[in-house]
Amino acid sequence: MPRKAHSISRRQISENAIKVLYRLHKSGFKAYLVGGGVRDILLGMQPKDFDVVTNATPEEIKRLFRNCRLVGRRFRLAHIVFGRDVIEVATLRGHHVDSGEKISKTNESGRLLRDNVYGSIDEDAERRDFTVNALYYDISDFSIHSYGGGLQDLESRTIRLIGDPETRYREDPVRMLRAVRFATKLDMSIESAAADPIQELAPLLKDIPAARMYEEVLKLFFAGKAAQNYNMMRDFGLFAPLFPLVDTQLNEAPHGPIAKLLQEMMENTDSRIEQEKPVTPAFFYAAMLWYPLTQRADDIALESGLSLYDAYTAAMGDIMEQQCRSISIPRRFSTVTKDIWQLQLRFERNKGTKAFKFIEHPKFRAAYDLLLLRGEAEGGTVAKNAAWWKSFVEGSEDQRNVIAKSTNKGGRNRNSQRRRRKPSEKAAPKPAE
């Protein structure tokens, strides 16, 4: 498609991406803006990233840019760093050949373990996952190269795989998650041929490194489409490999508190992102894993006879360890998640005058938000507890004093446990002679 037939202008592309494209072009290499950057501009959206492909090898790219660093083993990439802005540059991919064992390798299930085979733009397009991503903006003449009917699929709002869907999913099972994410992000439907194998192949996600799955979860649930992605993943069976503990409980109680809490949490996350409010993985995992935690704590208390607090403390480590087998959660978030869990146990016994000090805790707000979600999901005493705290948190200073005094009527918190007194020696019976 020549320049006069499309709407993309260089003014819509980031200044740093333009610098990279022109330097590669002036150095005698082919250079294209590719994938989401082209796709989103054509759809009237603001691209989040601008990726570049070229026929220059990673080593040749590094020689051209002093601000370049090479990353990755499975896919060798060049990152051109401009302060906080990073332009990712890949070499055009080629087809695998039997003699390319040193530069391409798959496992028994067909997943690519190493893939640094270089080729032409035609070969690179055939190696891409979806037709709507096989779009190339050529800096040499400002034309667009579309492969596999990508431009037509943009118009028909269709997510279609390039090549045989089962083979492509086996090469990289994360493509199943990408299909869901693009469908919700772009308001498109997944073509039936691409959708049909997903449920059967979903268990392949268990083989994906936990660190990579952490990044995919961020893209799925922290981009304003959490609720839609969650529901679609459940329909396709993609949720279970990521959150096996949660999925088990959802299957046991599809309309229970856990289902209500997760749906409400996803919608609240989307709402906060739309309002440009902060969201954190720590709260996300605290809400996601709350009910598996309570179940594990009850089991530990029953088996070992530990107190409720000690049982919860032990369960926290167990639940986090099991979850990290599928999704690697950085310690800076897992530690805060455990803090939010621990504070749930303090809401009931910190009413009254103790509430003034409790609300000053650094993690109080996150724990309070989880309590409100639990109240809506569970009802009963949890809802009453959440209602008390809501009136206290949202009340004025005078109102808080009245609420605290009414709760501490008689000078004692009604929920506190009375201390047992040691029997008086005078009251002790004399031994029989």
Q: What are phi and psi of 28, to 5 degrees?
A: 95, 10
Is 138 marked active-site? no
| Alpha carbon distance 164, 193 (integer Å) | 9
Residue 409 tokens read as 């009527």
Q: Dihedral (C-alpha) 287, 293, 294, 297: value to the nearest 10 degrees?
A: -160
Determine contact, residues 328/346, Cβ cutoff 8 Å.
Answer: no
| Alpha carbon distance 411, 353 (integer Å) | 10
| Alpha carbon distance 51, 79 (integer Å) | 10
For the residues of 100-137, what is the DSSP string, one character each? -TTTEEE-TTS-EEEE--B--HHHHHHHSSBGGG-EEE
Q: Three-state DSSP class for 190?
A: strand
Q: Which of 129, 172, 270, 339 is catalytic?
A: 129
Determine contact, residues 213/173, Cβ cutoff 8 Å.
Answer: no
Q: Which of 40, 51, 115, 124 is catalytic?
A: 51
Residue 132 CB neighbours (<10 A): 29
| Alpha carbon distance 338, 293 (integer Å) | 10
Q: What are phi and psi of 328, to 5 degrees?
A: -75, 115
| DSSP 8-state symbol, 414 | T
| Alpha carbon distance 152, 57 (integer Å) | 32
Residue 260 tokens read as 């209500």
Q: What share of the chain is helix, strand, coil (3-state, %, to 5)?
A: 55, 10, 35
The owner of tokens 């979860």 is 217
Is 129 marked active-site? yes
Exposure class string for 325-352: b at 16+ Cβ within 10 A, else e: ebbbbeeebbebbbbbbebbeebeebbb
Q: Dihedral (C-alpha) 36, 41, 45, 48: value to the nearest 10 degrees?
A: 40
Determine contact, residues 394/368, Cβ cutoff 8 Å.
Answer: no
Residue 326 tokens read as 């599928």
Is 49 marked active-site? yes
> Could you list the active site residues?
49, 51, 129
